C-alpha cells in the first residue's frame, strides 16, 4: 500500500503539472505554445502517468483485473512511450523548418517503426516477444524489448544531435539558445530510464519526461519574451546580453573590431497615416528581412531595437567589411519596392572602443547620437 501511494502521488503531480502547461499553452497567443505536436506530447505523457498509476494499482492488489487487462495496460504504456519520442521529433523538426516536414507522406514513413512496435506489443500477449505478464501480475522483459527501447529513443536522439549541431552554426544565431534547449530534452528522460532499469515499477519515466517538457515549455516562454512578435527577430532583452558578451571578450589585443549599426525607417509615420497600420507593419517586416539577409551573409547579429529601428551587431577582422555591410544594407533597402510607397531610411554605426566604452549602453548611445543627424546617403 505504501508503494502504491508513493507511485500515485508522483503520477498525480505529473498529471497536474502537465495539465497546467496545457491550459496555459492553449491560452497563450503565440506560435510556439500553440503547436499541436507539443500539446500532443504533453497529452501522451499524461496518458503514460495514468497507465503507470493503473499498473501500480494492479501490482499492489488495489484493483483486481483479468490478465488481458494487465497486458493492455502495458501495451498502451510502452507504445505511448514510443509515441512521445515520435511526436517530440515532429515538433522539433517542424520548429527547425526541416524540408521533410512540408511533405505529408513523410510523417507516415517515419511512423512505420511505431506501427511495427504496436504489432509486436500486441503479439506479446501470445508469445512474450516484447514483454510478458505472469498470472500473479509480475512483469517480465522479452527478447525484443531492446528493440522497443531503441524505437523509443531513436526519434529524440536524431533531433537532439540535429538541433545541437544547428545551435553552433552562425546562420541560426537567432534560435541558437532554443536549439540547445531542445537538444537537452533527452537528459531527464535518460535519467528516468536509468532509474527504471534499477526499479522497473518506479514511475520515473513519466516524471522524467514531464521535467523535460516543463524545461522546454519555460524555455519557449523565455524565447517569446525575448523575440519581437512581428518580425521574429530578437528584441532588446536578448540583444543587450549578447552585446555585453561580445564586449567582455574584447580588449586592446583583440583581433576583431566590433560594430553596432542602427538602421531606421524615417517615413514609417507617414506610411501609417496614408496607408494604415497594416502597411506600416509590412514596411517593418521588409526591413527585418533585409537585416536577416545581411546577418546571414556576414555572420552578424540582428535585432529589432525599437519601433522603427533595427540594429546589426558585427564582429570582423577586416576593417573595410563594415563599409561592405553598410553598402549591402543600403542596396537591399533601396531595392525594396512597394506598389504603394517607398521606404526611406537612415543609418549610423559605432565602433567599440575599449577606452571610452565599457558596456552595451555606451556603444548604443554613440550609435543613437550619430543617427540623429545622419541622412540616408551619409556614411558615419
Total Cβ atoms within 10 A of residue 320: 8
pLDDT classification of 349: cutoffs 50, 70, 90: confident
Short-list 165, 162, 312, 171, CA closest to 242? 312
Rounded mean pLDDT, 184-200: 80
Contact 178/219 with Cβ under 8 angstroms?
Answer: yes
For the sheet containing 345-351, what is the strand order?
301-304, 309-316, 257-265, 345-351
Contact 259/350 with Cβ under 8 angstroms?
Answer: yes
Q: Which residue would you say has higher pLDDT here, 23 or 142?
A: 142
Name the range with the highest mean pLDDT among 46-50, 146-150, 303-307.
Answer: 46-50
| Pairing status of strand 131-133 against strand 139-141 | antiparallel
- The H or E element containing residue 204 is helix 204-225
Maximum Cα–Cα distance across the chain: 85
321, pLDDT greater than 90: no
Rounded mean pLDDT, 361-371: 83
SS3 state at 129:
coil
pLDDT at 117: 95
| Mean pLDDT of the chain, nearest integer | 84
pLDDT classification of 308: cutoffs 50, 70, 90: confident
pLDDT at 122: 96
Q: What structural domains does the chain harbor? A: 2-225 (1.20.1070), 236-372 (3.30.70.270)
DSSP conformation class of 172: G
Distances (CA, A) of 288 to 3, 262, 309: 57, 12, 10
Contacts 24+ apart (CB under 8 A), 225-228: 228/303, 228/304
201, pLDDT greater than 80: no
Q: Which residue would you say has higher pLDDT here, 117 or 347?
A: 117
Q: What is the pLDDT of residues 102-116, one digit of tens each?
A: 888 999 999 999 999
Q: Which residue would you say has higher pLDDT here, 197 or 90?
A: 90
SS3 state at 55:
helix
243, pLDDT greater than 80: yes
276, pLDDT greater than 70: yes
379, pLDDT greater than 70: no
CA atoms within 13 A on the CB side of 3: 14
Name the range with the highest mean pLDDT among 22-36, 84-98, 182-196, 222-236.
Answer: 84-98
Contact 183/160 with Cβ under 8 angstroms?
Answer: yes
CA 85/CA 95 separation, integer angstroms: 15
CA atoms within 13 A on the CB side of 146: 1
Rounded mean pLDDT, 295-315: 86
Contact 41/213 with Cβ under 8 angstroms?
Answer: yes
Rounded mean pLDDT, 372-379: 54
pLDDT at 173: 63
Query: Which bin fits 359, alpha (ψ -120 to 50), beta or left (φ > 0)?
Result: beta
Measured torsion, CA atoms of residues 215, 221, 223, 227, in degrees rounded to the nearest 10: 180
Amino acid at each position: 500500500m505504501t508503494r502504491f501511494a508513493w507511485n500515485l502521488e508522483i503520477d498525480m503531480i505529473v498529471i497536474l503539472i502537465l495539465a497546467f502547461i496545457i491550459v496555459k499553452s492553449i491560452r497563450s497567443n503565440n506560435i510556439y505554445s500553440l503547436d499541436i505536436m507539443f500539446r500532443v506530447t504533453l497529452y501522451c505523457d499524461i496518458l503514460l502517468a495514468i497507465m503507470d498509476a493503473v499498473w501500480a494499482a494492479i501490482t499492489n492488489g488495489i484493483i483486481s483485473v483479468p490478465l488481458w487487462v494487465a497486458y493492455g495496460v502495458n501495451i498502451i504504456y510502452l507504445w505511448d512511450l514510443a509515441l512521445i519520442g515520435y511526436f517530440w521529433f515532429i515538433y522539433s523538426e517542424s520548429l527547425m523548418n526541416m524540408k521533410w516536414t512540408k511533405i505529408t507522406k513523410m510523417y507516415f514513413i517515419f511512423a512505420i517503426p511505431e506501427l511495427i512496435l504496436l504489432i509486436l506489443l500486441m503479439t506479446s500477449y501470445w508469445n512474450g516477444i516484447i514483454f510478458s505478464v505472469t498470472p500473479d501480475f509480475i512483469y517480465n522483459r522479452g527478447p525484443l524489448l531492446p528493440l522497443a527501447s531503441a524505437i523509443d529513443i531513436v526519434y529524440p536522439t536524431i533531433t537532439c544531435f540535429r538541433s545541437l549541431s544547428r545551435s553552433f552554426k552562425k546562420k541560426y544565431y537567432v534560435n541558437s539558445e532554443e536549439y540547445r534547449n531542445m537538444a537537452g530534452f533527452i537528459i531527464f528522460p535518460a535519467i528516468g530510464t536509468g532509474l527504471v532499469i534499477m526499479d522497473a515499477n518506479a514511475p520515473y519515466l513519466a516524471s522524467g519526461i514531464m521535467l523535460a517538457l516543463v524545461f522546454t515549455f519555460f524555455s519557449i516562454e523565455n524565447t517569446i519574451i525575448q523575440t519581437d512578435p512581428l518580425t521574429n527577430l530578437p528584441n532588446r532583452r536578448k540583444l543587450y546580453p549578447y552585446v555585453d558578451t561580445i564586449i567582455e571578450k574584447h580588449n586592446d589585443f583583440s583581433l576583431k573590431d566590433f560594430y553596432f549599426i542602427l538602421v531606421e525607417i524615417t517615413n514609417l509615420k507617414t506610411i501609417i497615416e496614408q496607408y494604415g497600420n497594416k502597411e506600416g507593419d509590412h514596411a517593418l517586416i521588409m526591413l527585418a528581412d533585409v537585416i536577416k539577409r545581411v546577418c546571414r551573409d556576414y555572420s552578424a547579429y540582428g535585432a529589432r531595437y525599437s519601433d522603427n529601428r533595427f540594429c546589426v551587431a558585427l564582429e570582423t577582422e577586416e576593417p573595410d567589411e563594415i563599409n561592405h555591410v553598410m553598402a549591402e544594407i543600403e542596396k537591399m533597402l533601396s531595392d525594396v519596392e512597394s506598389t504603394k510607397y517607398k521606404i526611406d531610411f537612415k543609418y549610423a554605426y559605432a565602433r567599440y572602443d575599449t577606452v571610452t566604452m565599457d558596456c552595451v549602453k555606451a556603444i548604443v548611445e554613440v550609435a543613437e547620437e550619430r543617427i540623429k543627424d545622419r541622412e540616408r546617403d551619409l556614411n558615419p
